[in-house]
Amino acid sequence: MNLISRRDVLGLLLAAPAGARAFAAESGGGWMDLFDGRSLDGWKASEHEETFSVVDGAGFGVTGGVIQVHGERSHLFYTGPVKGADFKNFEFSAEVMTRPGANSGIYFHTAFQPVGFPAAGFEVQVANSYKGDNKKTGSLYAVRNVAKQLVPDNAWFTMRIAVRGKDVQIWVNQMLVVDYVEPETPFRADPKFERVLNHGTFALQGHDPGSTTYFRNMRVRPLADGLTTPTDEEPVVDELYRETMRLGEENYPMVDYHVHLKGGLTLEQALANSRRLGIDYGIAINCGLGFPVHDDASVQAYLETMKDQPCYVALQGEGREWMTLTSPESVARFDYCFTDAMTFRDDAGRRVRLWIPEETPAINDAEAFMEMLVKRIEGVMREPIDIYANPTYLPDQIAARYDELWTPARMKRVIDAAIENDVAIEINNRRQIPSATFIKAGKAAGAKFSFGTNNEGAELGRLEYPIRMVRECGLKWQDIFVPKPAGQKPIEVKKWKMTEAGNSGQ
Ligand SMILES: [Zn+2]
């Protein structure tokens, strides 16, 4: 028996956060199969019919047939009897499995098209380890992109889609990854594709001959046409909204890699914000002396709280001793790690934190201070980090002299150290550093950059400064950092040591 009382249901509804409205129970009424488990009856392929076939699920540990997608580009459109193959509001569910390098997708509100990628409707992306596209499984393609690979190849996962009024929600397993509300006048980054809510059928994508994907248990539950959007929030379409969508369409990973759960910001709020803005987050925990995370046990406990969340999970090393507090194995369990050069021992042996005036010694000789700072930054670059955060930060005493003190020679030393150590340089939204001059020099030399806010309170920006710098400095999507796969992370492959003075290895 699988009964729950009405009170239980009410309890669940009350407990569910607003942003994570539950998907209808699969056991609930109204679900209809789109795939009969035996044949492609009720489906029609474009271009290369042979891309789609039904194979025995026994080889995949499941009973019944499985739709195999492998071959030249082709799309398989549902043309069967369920609701005359015309759906407006609905819930859809399918089990999907990818082979390495697979690229596929599930279209909705689309229509049969004999050749090419369907122009009508939306594509929900299926791509886990596929290279060259930063839109991963769960993306509402080029409208709301998911940058992080959330599920592995060679394992079944559930993909669920719900359209209600102007709202599209997408789940990958239990993770709500997209909650897109279409504005009154939808913005489209690429006019070749409609990507406007309408009505239509479903389709599966065969993308290229190097790709193999499997689908099973494809079901739909039509919902009433007159449904209203289950949110009262009308998105504001301003230039930043358009740029975020354009850059995503152009394959920039639109990720804020430097978000802290502080100032009262909860994980649930951060994820809801991320879905609302179409910017993915890397949620970073500070690790260092006197911080809540400071050893292997506290890393383990923290990671438990971030399990199966649709965001990157990052470690920010504090002070130069961060590397000595936890094992490399613990650090490697994060998606990436970063630090800044704002805490170190100066030449007199004092531990300084540059953003705290009382801890920053009087700078009588700014030139000498800069020499010391650049040397410290070069040391930080040798640490096993992915990103150098808060780059080129100067303490208040000399901040107004940024352009004068960051000479071309000093910028070059920092950029060279970043490139030599394969460390990305953060373009920091809150502090608006580094300068455009620095970013242009870094771009010319071949440095990589990441976007990061480093929020002080609960308010997260919208990557205003990084987005402006991308255009002003001509950064390409290839210039933007994406975390390295397991086995290739700096913490796993880089040799590092600390000097006796407590600074990073020279
Ligand atoms: Zn930070």
Centre of ligand 1 to C-alpha 392, Å, is 15
Q: Given this model, what pLDDT does residue 132 score?
A: 85
- In whole angstroms, give the CA distance from residue 323 to residue 499: 12
Cα-to-centroid distance, 327 and ligand 1 (Å): 21
pLDDT for res 22:
55
Ligand 1 mean position, distance from CA 131 (Å): 29
Ligand 1 center–CA 45 separation, angstroms? 50
In contact, 96 and 214? CB cutoff 8 Å: yes
In this prediction, residue 496 carries a pLDDT of 72
Quote the ligand 1 centre to 317 CA distance (angstroms).
Answer: 9
130 CA distance to ligand 1 middle (Å): 31
Whether residue 147 contacts residue 280, with contact meaning beta carbons closer than 8 Å, is answered with: yes
pLDDT of residue 3: 37
> Ligand 1 centre and the CA of 240: distance in Å?
24
Give yes or no for a contact between 69 and 97, defined as CB atoms under 8 angstroms apart: no
* Omega before residue 384 within 30° of 0, cis: no
CA of 260 to the centre of ligand 1 (A): 7
Q: Which amino acid is at 300?
A: Q
DSSP string, 410-456: HHHHHHHHHHHTT-EEEEETTTTBS-HHHHHHHHHHT--EEEE---S
Domains defined along the chain, listed by start: 6-222 (2.60.120.560), 252-502 (3.20.20.140)
Tell me if 109 sits within 8 A of 140, measured CB to CB: no
**Rounded distance, CA 239 to CA 251, Å?**
18
pLDDT of residue 15: 37
Measured CA to CA, the distance from residue 318 to residue 300 in angstroms comes to: 18
Distance 425 CA to ligand 1 centre (A): 14
Query: Could you tell me if residue 402 is left (phi over 0), alpha (psi between -120 and 50 degrees) or otherwise beta?
Result: alpha
Q: How far is the CA of 454 from the centre of ligand 1 (A)?
A: 5
Rounded to the nearest angstrom, the distance between the alpha carbon of 342 and the centre of ligand 1 is 11
Terminal Cα distance for the chain, rounded: 66
Mark residue 321 as left, alpha or beta (left: phi above 0; alpha: psi -120 to 50; beta: remaining): alpha
Q: Strand 312-317 relative to strand 280-287: parallel, antiparallel, unpaired?
A: parallel
Distance from the alpha carbon of residue 376 to the mean position of ligand 1, in angstroms: 18
| pLDDT by position in tens, the chain (length 506) | 333 333 333 333 333 443 445 565 555 689 999 999 999 999 999 999 999 999 999 988 899 999 999 999 999 999 999 999 999 999 999 999 999 999 999 999 999 999 999 999 999 999 999 998 999 999 999 999 999 999 999 999 999 999 999 999 999 999 999 999 999 999 988 889 999 999 999 999 999 999 999 999 999 999 999 888 877 678 889 999 999 999 999 999 999 999 999 999 999 999 999 999 999 999 999 999 889 899 999 999 999 999 999 999 999 999 888 988 999 999 999 999 999 999 999 999 999 999 999 999 899 999 999 999 999 999 999 999 999 999 999 999 999 999 999 999 999 999 999 999 999 999 999 999 999 999 999 999 999 999 999 999 999 999 999 999 999 999 999 999 999 999 999 999 987 766 555 666 54
CA–CA gap between residue 87 and residue 171 (Å, rounded)? 19
Output the CA 140–ligand 1 centroid distance in Å: 30
**C-alpha of residue 56 to centroid of ligand 1, in Å:** 51
The answer to whether the CB of 504 falls within 8 A of the CB of 320 is yes
Q: How close is the Cα of 321 to the center of ligand 1, in Å?
A: 16
Ligand 1 centroid, distance to 447 Cα (angstroms): 21
Do 469 and 441 contact (CB within 8 A), yes or no? no
Ligand 1 centroid, distance to 283 Cα (angstroms) = 10
pLDDT value, residue 27: 54
Q: How far is the CA of 150 from the centre of ligand 1 (A)?
A: 24
Query: With contact defined as beta carbons under 8 Å apart, do 498 and 383 qualify?
Result: no
